[in-house]
Each structure stands twice: as structure tokens, then as C-alpha cells.
Structure 1
Amino acid sequence: MKIKHPTITLMKKIYFLAFLFISWNALAQGLPGLGAGTTPNNRPILHGKNWVAITGKPLAATAGSMIFQQGGNAVDAACAMIAATSTMWDVLSWGGETQALIYNPNTKKVIGINAMGVAPTGATVDFYKSQGMDYPPQFGPLAATTPGTPGGIMTMLAEFGTMSLEQVLKPAMDLAKGYPIEAQTANAIENNKDKIKEWPYSKKVFLPHLGEQREAPSAGEIFVQEDLYQTLLKLVEAERAALKAKKSRKEAIYAAYDRFYKGDIAKEIVRGTREQGGLFTEADLANWKVKIEEPLQVNYRGVDVYKLQEWTQGPALLQSLNILENFDLKSMGYNSANYINTVYQAMSLAFADRDFYYGDPAFVKSPMKSLLSKEYAKERAKLIGEVNDPKITAGDPYPYQGESNPYLNLLNKNKQTVAALSPEDLKAGLDEKFLADFQSGTTSVQTADAEGWVVSVTPSGGWIPAVIAGNTGVGLSQRMQSFVLDENLNPYNLPEPGKRPRVTLTPSLAMKDGKPYLAFSVQGGDSQDQNLLQFFLNVVEFDMNVQEAVEAPNFNSYQMQSSFGDHEIRPGAITLREDTPEWIRRDLLRKGYIMDFWNKTSGPITAIWIDWKHGTLWGGASNYGDDYGIAW
């Protein structure tokens, strides 16, 4: 038996505590710990000269690396990774939605991909209320928007990729033929099997052991999806036929696109959805189109940050940066009580505007010009005090663009409702269902290559338990639940046929000195832009390298309306990492926060930093979940 000497054990404890003290104080002073690149991480930095592929699942990262090794660019690889993750079911499937930001080195522009599905025919406020609902449901055929991910993949590939659809879909098709399912997904199926049994096509795919004690696949079991394989094969066949008819690569990919949205695949999706109580029509799918759009952008201390438009929550991060630019965050110290209090309230202000003003700009134009103005941010910043204000509400940005607010009466009504809340109303804690709804998952995809293409994607929708549309193997989105049915909550985000719900999905790109600087996104519902904001500040304000920044402890706020379930809010509630020092806890308690502590709070962030000095790519994959990357 090996006996530890008590003096040596004591000295080890002293050295460890000293290390923690030095590291914490270095961070608190805005210093990069023991020197950039040397602070111990749970995972190594990924260094690549030619390419980097990072996503939420190891097998999907492998799919990206396979495409890169065959000569594909970052867009080709990203499409293969989305297709692979959609086939693996954990937090998305083929009937979900895809949104992306792409830096095109040929035009030197950042462009947005809007492949969010829309509300189907008949999906109106009156319809859902007639069903006795306060919000569209979380699950089932009435939760489904039209499929967006297939169109997103094919549009990205056709417009910005270099490979054929057949090449890019091969990893996903191999997975559909059968792959060893992960424990997380297998257990999610088993835990949700009662709900899955409500839908015959889902039961057929997900529960291969019906009648046994465990009806879902077991971890490591080969999970086969023959219907999905046949659907993907039909896309490849459409492309092959077009190429044989002398069509171009792009035309051939769009031939596959048409087969999905206008051909036999669409017909079966509609038939299978309507059979199970859904609202889809063939016209809903045929009329839907991917939008290639101009992203929104602000400059924060010399860095241009890009997010998708207000049909996502992305602009809330931009608003937060504008507000925080009015404070010297670095002097406050990393994750000090003052820093946390300031960033928390800045997010509360930005997310209050998100909750009231964001929606599909194709239907009602939000006041984004003024919401993203530095002048409006400066006024909002004045509301940040020494103590958290649990009654923060949306502001009125319209005067900052010389207009009158068309919903001023609703805004004032909201302010009166919140002002009337008692202290007891504001003391709600964090229950398990609320947290599950608030942080409903997605996945993330980041790719970059030596040619200069950079891609950031947050595909999602169709997570377990999902309704599968007929014999297609395509699991439908649950994104209708992100609409609200009460105009008092958000007059811009009420369901209408053809309208996109305001979603949480939010890829990010940043440029510095006119060149790509960062690509970053994260899994996790309403927590996404909170974690991404703190990641960005870790890099820009506290000089962390990309791996340090994705692993560093974040805090999560719940002082914003959940985009899922019952759309609840928990003012002043905050999740901190377990090692938050006692003196910071006391300060935050005095500042009015209701605290909760977790072992890890970094959020499952994936990111790429472009090192222009050395001409290399640095990748970071959080230690939070299954995030995984490969570089070369």
C-alpha cells in the first residue's frame, strides 16, 4: 500500500490553492492566466493549416473531415456535417431548420442563410386558441413548421460549395444505413417512448424492440433508418438524372431540391403529416424558399460582429454589445460581482426588446435600425444600476429612427403589468421543467478552410420525441412553439400561414480589420446568445485563446421570456459555476440575485479563431457536452 506523506499532501494543497488564486486574480485583472495558450484546458486547442471542422457530435465532425480530405471547401464540409447530425437525431432531424452565416472570400462579404420553415396553412392564432391552447404545442404535428434543413443544405451547396450532393450526402446515407447509436440519443428515445408511440411512423423508426422491457435501441446498437436512406437516395437520383441530362452542378442540386419540396417526397411528407393531424399542404412546401439575406452587424471596440436578422434572437447579442460598450468591463475583472451584474442587466435590457419586438420581417418590420443604434444603447445603458432590476421591460426605440411606435399602447400595458408585480411574484426559482424548456437543445457547426471560407451554423428542430412524416424517415420540427398567441407579449411574433417564428437559433461571425476573426455558435435554446456574448467578451476583453474562452465559466440568466413551453420568465435567477468564490456570491445576493450552481456552465460552444499572423486556424470545442472537432 502506498502511503501519502502528510507534509507532501499539505504542500500539494497549498500549491493548488496558490495556483487557483493566481489564475483567478489574473483573470480578474483581465490577464490571460499563465500566458495565452498555456492555461490548462480540459481539451486541447485544435490547430489547422488547411481546415477545421467542429460540431456537436464526433461522428458529424468525422463527416466534415471526410469531405475536406476529398477536396471540398468549408461550405461542402458544413453541409455534410448538418446532414450527418440531422441523421443522428439527438437535437435535430431532416425536417428541422438550418440557419447559417457564411464568409465568402471571393466577394469578401458575410451572407446569411435563412432556411427556417414557416407556419403551414391554417396555423393562426384563432386556430390554436380554438384547440384550447395558450401557446402552440411543444410536440406533435401541430408543433411543426415546414421542413427547412434539406433546402438549406442544398442551397448552401449549390450557391457556395464545390461538390455534388451525392458526395456531400454520402456520410449521412452511410449513417442512415446503420450506425452505433450514442447513449444520449438512445436513452432519450427510451425516456420518451410513450409519446413516440402516439405517432405510428415514429414508433416504427425509433422503437425496434416493441414489447420488450427496453423498446428503444441500446447504446452502441446499430440503428437503421431505411425510410430516411431511401429519401436521401431519391435526392441523389434526382441529381444524377439532371447531370445525365447535361445540367450544371448547381442545376442538378436544385433538381433534387425540387423533388423534395415539389415532387414525390413532398407528397408523402404532406400525406403522412395530415394523417397524424398536421396542417401541411403541398402548396406550403412548394411555395417555401430559402432566403439568402443580408445579416445585421454592429462594431464593438473595432470588431464587426454579424448575426442573422430578427427572425432569430441573434440581434439581442448585438444590442448587448452596444450597451456594454458604455462600460469598462476589463477594469471590473473577469466574472467579478460588478461584471456579472453589469452584463446580466445589459442582457436583460436587450432580451426584453427581443421578447417584444422581434419577429419575421417579411410580415411585420421590427424597428431594428434604432434597436441597433448606439444612441438607443446609450439610453438603455443608463438603466443599469448597482442592484439588479427584476422589472426591466422593453424600451421604445422608434423615436431613434424618427417614427412613432405603432404598439405603444401594448408597451405601456406591459410596463404597468410588470410594475404591479409583488416581491413574491419575483422570487420564482428554477424547476426542472423550466430549465429543460429554456435550454432546449440544438447543435452547432463551424468550418473554415485555407481558401478563406468560414461558416457558422446552428441547425435544429425535429428533436426527440419527433413526429416522422409518413414513410420518409423525416422527423418534423417543433418550432411552432416559438410563436406566441397573445399580442401583449409580442405583436410581431403571432402565427400566420407562411410566417417564420422568432427562433433562438443564432450562428455568429466576427470580422476584424476587414478579415474573418471568429466563427462561433452554441447549443441550448434561450441560453445561446448569453453564452456567445460571454465567449466573445472572454476573447476580446480578457485575451483568452479560443479554447480557454469556450471552457471558461459563464453565468446564465433567466430574466427573459422562454421561447419554449409556457414562455415563462424568472427575473433575477442566475446559474453560476460551483467554484464561484464566496465573496462574489455574497455580493450577488446583496444585488438581488437568486442563485443556482452547476458543475459546468461554459455552455457547449464551438468556435474557430483565425490567426492571420501565422496563417493558421485555431479551433475550440467546449468541455460541456459532446462537442468535437478535427483539424488539419
Structure 2
Amino acid sequence: MLPSKPELSGTIGAVSATHWLASNAGMRILENGGNAFDAAVAAGFVLQVVEPHFNGPGGDVSIGRTARRAQDAAEICGQGPMPRAATPQAFSDLGLEHIPGSGLLPACVPGAFGGWLRLLAEFGTLRLADVLAPAITYAEEGYPLLPETAHAADVLAPLFRTEWTGSGQIYLANGAAPKAGSRFRNPARAQTYRQLLKEAEAASADREAQIEAAHQAFYQGFCAEAVQRFLDGGPRLDATGAGHSALLTADDLAAWTPSVTTATSRPYGAYRVHKPGPWSQGPVFLQQLALLEGFDLAGMRPDSADYLHTVVECAKLAFADRDAWYGDPAFTDIPLADLLSDDYTRERRRLVGPEAVNELQPGTPGGRSSWLPGAAPEPEPDLSGHTDEWMGQLRNGLPTILKATTAKGDTCCVTVTDRHGNTVAATASGGWLKSSPAIAELGFPLGTRGQTMYLAEGHPNSLAGGKRPRTTLSPTVVQRDGQPHLAFGTPGGDRQDQWTLQFFLGVTAFGLDLQAATETLAFHTDQVPASFTPHQSRPGVVVVEENCAAATVAELTRRGHRVERVPAYSLGRVCATGLGTDGLVRAAACPRGRQPYAICG
């Protein structure tokens, strides 16, 4: 297809995010002298306000960054751990065989706020007041409500009126949901941000000290106290059809700080690709690249059956390893070096043949044996008095209000590149409008990432108190010839590292510019069990956009794939920025969803 718009280029900086107001906020920071990291933080806080159905301060963020003088990239883990009281026995005592996908039980320590602050403190240059100002303005003065947010509030309105009344105070007016496009305000959220800023500035005149004071106010001060008061208020209805109290406490918040470590990376031709570690699904991107190095992708057409089959079969192998081996490395010895080694990759590559393989095939890195805990059977919830659509929505752990006719999507993304060569990609999620009751005095709900963990013991992603659940959040930063080159990401849960891989291959294997690479045919396999409740797996299913050629679909079917079509240009929302060898910054935003926006200056 012809690109719908050109790749953008400029000299000051480039921002691409999943909402135009976030992109604009980031660009203003760059124009006023801030660097890429300042801009990303400002955009990230705006995303929390304008995309509340997909992220919030109570959720999570994964951030990758690199700079011209940095040989390696850093990753910031804004994934909070499970409460110390969260154990398999605790759920067994409640009569539960899995962690529900909504309510208070799956709540982790909120990591998003701390993650953004750590980026600002470690790598930014501006003060907290500078980067919080746009978010405060939109929360106080209002912003045009997205159709997805309005639809979620409308579907969930009966729940908000009767059970999750804090959510009702924020998202309903006289018991009714707001209309799409209407001016929407969240004064409680604005007041939370203002109070954080007030306590930060009262603590010190020093920039770094103010950021630390804001962290303290959130995790040990008034925010943590408000969270504890809310949780002490008793059980709240969740996906089980009953009410449960949280295992999370203010002490869990006080004990946590975000980490900054060297990103996991692997070379790919002239590139070095950096991903978050195995506490996320990030290394699965690197495993796919390693497998694909053995195929002549450039000799295939990007819409051909050969290409789709090869990419899908490699994805199946890499994601099988994700499910078998990835988890919090602070609790489990993850054989990451073996998983990324050349010898292991050659062995795995031999499994890619001309026909589809429609069962999971995890490998044996270093001779180790693995096991895949099957998804626990979903108990039938007690639906007495709860037979409306909203109860069915709660049973699915994704943030999206599911519709039979549309592809599932979730999460937010922002990427920034400045004229100095600083690049950052961040994927934020959790604390969704649909996931958990809002804390009315703070203006946001807690996250539900705990649902991704297993109650069966002995697996890398088994539940344990203080352990990080394996997250799907997976931004990417890339160097070329040792210099910053690309930053990109997409919403999409488990599919993020399939859709962004196709973007990256568009650039590297097929020579497309950034914008054209966001607009190539998108597809993914659903063979891997979903990270989110109810952990659905669909062996052999390959989802393609309906603009895929009929001959390609027929050939994939002949090879044993179960091809499922979805509307054209509906998969993923890739955002990307980068720095060219000519010193110009570049940006692109996928036109899918009509919401991501790229800006260059």
C-alpha cells in the first residue's frame, strides 16, 4: 500500500504516542529545551489522563532508553511486585483456583508513577512541575473524551452506580456515562498531582530532591494512606461474582522502588536491539530475530505466504519459550543466555518446516526441562443479580470492552528522540477503567497485573509475595553502528512483540521508511496462551487483516494454518521515532485506530 502520510523529519526532536495530546505535550517540552526523557515523562502523565481506559498512576510502565554516548541501553522497570501476602495458599484459602482478572485481588504495587519519576530523575533535566503541568491542565480543564472511554463507562455504568461507586463518582454524571467527544474532567486526579507537586516543592528547592519527595508522597505519604483507607473499606465485587478484599497494603507500597538496569540486547546485522528483561516478555522479540536470521526474508514479499508462514512459525517457538521460561529473575534462575545463544537458536530453527506446527514446543536451554501450567478451569461465577453485559466484561482481564467484531487492543505507548541522540520508548498500561474500582479521592484505580501469574508452584511465573508478575509491556530501542537509531512500541498485550517485529522487519529487511513500515500488512498467531484471564489459547490460528491477498490466505490454509480475518488496518498502533545518519530526527505513527500521532520539530 502507499503510505497514508509521509515519514516526518525535523531538527529539534520527534515524538510519537498513542494519543495526539500526549504527542503535543512531549513536543512542547522539546521546544522549550527539555530532552527526550523530559518529553517522554510529560507525555506519559498526559496519557494517564486522556487514556484512562488503558493506563493510569495505579498501573505499570516499562521504559527503554539510550543516548549517543551510551554503549548500552538502560531499562527502567516500573512493574510493581505482588503484595507480600499474595501466595498460592492465600488464594486457595479463598476457594479460588486462579487469580481473577478484575477487582482488588490481582492488585500489585502501582509501578507507573515511580517508573516515570525514575526516568525523570536519572536522565531528565527539567523539574517535576514542568513535566506535570500538561497533565494537570487536562485533568482540571478537560479534554475530548475518546469513544472507547465513553463506551467503557456506558457499559460499566450499572456496576459504577451500585458496586464500584468511586468509579461512578469520577466517570458518571447523575448516574449517566459521558458522551464521546464531550469535554471530560477528572478534578480528583488533578488534585492528586497538585498535592504531589506541593509536597515535592515544600521539601526542597533541588530538582532531584523534589522528585524523591514526590516518590515518598506517593508510596509512603498521602497517596499510600488513601490507598490503605480505600482497601480497609471492605471487599469489592470482582470477576468471581463475589466481593473480595485486596492483599495489597500501604507497607507494600512503602517497600518498593523502581529499578534501572542494563537492557537485554542482541545484535541483528548492523543493529543492536535492546529489550526489557525476562520479567517482561521483551526477550521474545530477540528470540524471534535470532531465529529469522537464518531465512532470506529480503527475498520474500512482505505480504507473501512464505513470509507470513516463516514469521509465524518462529513466533510460535519464541513464545513457547516465553511461557516456559520467563519470570522475575530476582526469584528464578532464568536461562536467558542459553535462550539467546547461537547454538540453541540453530537447534530451534530446524523445527521450522514447510507446514504449520499447531502445538506449543518449548525448548530445553542448557539441557533443562520445562513445563507449561495449563490455564486453570474458569469457575462459573455467582451471577445472581448480575446478569448484565458488564459482568461478562469483568471476567476477561483485558482493559478493552470486548466486541465480537473488532480486534482486541490495550495499553499506551510513547516514543521520543531528541536532536542530541537521546531516544526513549515506553509502554504504559494497567490501572484500567474496567479493571478495578477507582479510589475516588485520588481519581484512579489500582492495576490488575497479578492475573498473569500462575497459582501452580514451581514455574518461573508462579505467584509469590513480593514477586513481579511477568508483564507484556515491551518497548524497543535500537542502535545502529553503535549510535542511537530507533525507538518504537505498540499497544496489544501478548501481540506487541509480533506487531513491532513486523514494523522492524519492514525497516531492516525491506528498506521501508518509518511511516511505511507502520502501514504494512499486520498479522499474529494466537497459539500462545494469553497472559490475561481467561488465558485463552487458539492452536493454529493466524489472525490477518482482511486486505491480505486471497492467494496468501489460501496458501497459508494449505500449509495447515487456521486463518482468521479481521477488519483491514485494525491490528496494532505502532509508534516510532529515530535518528538518521544525517542527524535529522524522524517520526511515524500507525494510522490504525485514527488516534496515534507523530510530531517533528
What's the TM-score, normalizing by structure 1?
A: 0.85
* 2:165 alignment partner in structure 1: 200
Give yes or no for the alignment of 1:345 onto 2:310: no
The question of whether the paired residues in 2 share the 8 Å contact of 1:99 and 1:113 is answered with: yes
* 2:596 alignment partner in structure 1: 627
Among 260, 268, 275, the alignment partner of 2:226 is 268
Whole-angstrom CA distance in 1 between matches of 2:68 and 2:158: 49
Shift of 1:48: 1.7
Give yes or no for the alignment of 1:183 onto 2:183: no
* 1:358 alignment partner in structure 2: 326
Whole-angstrom CA distance in 1 between matches of 2:319 and 2:92: 26
- CA pair 180-148 structure 1, distance change in 2 beyond 3 A: same
**Larger deviation, residues 527-536 vs 333-342:** 333-342
- CA pair 280-303 structure 1, distance change in 2 beyond 3 A: same
- CA pair 444-282 structure 1, distance change in 2 beyond 3 A: same
Gaps of 5+ in 2: 236-244, 375-400
Give yes or no for the alignment of 1:68 onto 2:41: no
Please give the residue correspondences for 1:131-146 in structure 2 after superposition, counting only pairs within 5 Å.
131-146=94-109
> What do the CA deviations read for 1:194-224 (whole angstroms, capped 9, x no partner)?
33342221121111231xxxx1111232222
Give yes or no for the alignment of 1:173 onto 2:131: no
Give yes or no for the alignment of 1:218 onto 2:182: no
> What do the CA deviations read for 1:33-58 (whole angstroms, capped 9, x no partner)?
xxxxxxx3123322121101110011
Whole-angstrom CA distance in 2 between matches of 1:168 and 1:320: 36
Whole-angstrom CA distance in 1 between matches of 2:79 and 2:263: 15
Look up the equivalent residue of 2:185 and give its one-letter code.
V
Whole-angstrom CA distance in 1 between matches of 2:333 and 2:219: 28
Whole-angstrom CA distance in 1 between matches of 2:68 and 2:274: 16
* 2:42 alignment partner in structure 1: 80
Among 398, 414, 424, the alignment partner of 1:445 is 414
Look up the equivalent residue of 2:231 and give its one-letter code.
T
* 1:292 alignment partner in structure 2: 260
Look up the equivalent residue of 2:415 and give its one-letter code.
Q
Give yes or no for the alignment of 1:252 onto 2:214: no
Among 386, 390, 415, the alignment partner of 2:354 is 386
| Alignment size in residue pairs | 559
Q: CA RMSD in A?
A: 2.0
What's the TM-score, normalizing by structure 2?
A: 0.89
> What do the CA deviations read for 1:61-111 (whole angstroms, capped 9, x no partner)?
111122122211110110011100111213111111111001133444310
Give yes or no for the alignment of 1:471 onto 2:433: no
Whole-angstrom CA distance in 2 between matches of 1:482 and 1:72: 37
The question of whether the paired residues in 1 share the 8 Å contact of 2:417 and 2:578 is answered with: no
* 2:572 alignment partner in structure 1: 603
Shift of 1:611: 1.1
Please give the residue correspondences for 1:15-30 in structure 2 after superposition, counting only pairs within 5 Å.
none
Rg larger for: 1
Whole-angstrom CA distance in 1 between matches of 2:171 and 2:402: 24
Gaps of 5+ in 1: 1-22, 24-39, 400-404, 415-431
- CA pair 437-115 structure 1, distance change in 2 beyond 3 A: farther
* 2:431 alignment partner in structure 1: 462
* 1:233 alignment partner in structure 2: 194
Whole-angstrom CA distance in 1 between matches of 2:46 and 2:137: 9
* 1:422 alignment partner in structure 2: none
Whole-angstrom CA distance in 1 between matches of 2:355 and 2:426: 36
Identity score, percent:
34
- CA pair 279-99 structure 1, distance change in 2 beyond 3 A: same
Look up the equivalent residue of 1:172 and give its one-letter code.
A
Among 503, 510, 514, the alignment partner of 1:546 is 514
The question of whether the paired residues in 2 share the 8 Å contact of 1:102 and 1:454 is answered with: yes
The question of whether the paired residues in 2 share the 8 Å contact of 1:269 and 1:470 is answered with: no
Please give the residue correspondences for 1:580-599 in structure 2 after superposition, counting only pairs within 5 Å.
580-598=548-566, 599=568
Shift of 1:470: 4.8
Whole-angstrom CA distance in 1 between matches of 2:40 and 2:462: 32
- CA pair 434-320 structure 1, distance change in 2 beyond 3 A: farther
Whole-angstrom CA distance in 2 between matches of 1:409 and 1:570: 21
Look up the equivalent residue of 1:580 and give its one-letter code.
C
* 1:615 alignment partner in structure 2: 583
**Equivalent residue of 1:65, what SS?**
helix
The question of whether the paired residues in 1 share the 8 Å contact of 2:189 and 2:444 is answered with: yes
The question of whether the paired residues in 1 share the 8 Å contact of 2:324 and 2:370 is answered with: no
Shift of 1:435: 8.2
* 2:20 alignment partner in structure 1: 58
As a proportion of its length, which structure holds more helix? Answer: 1
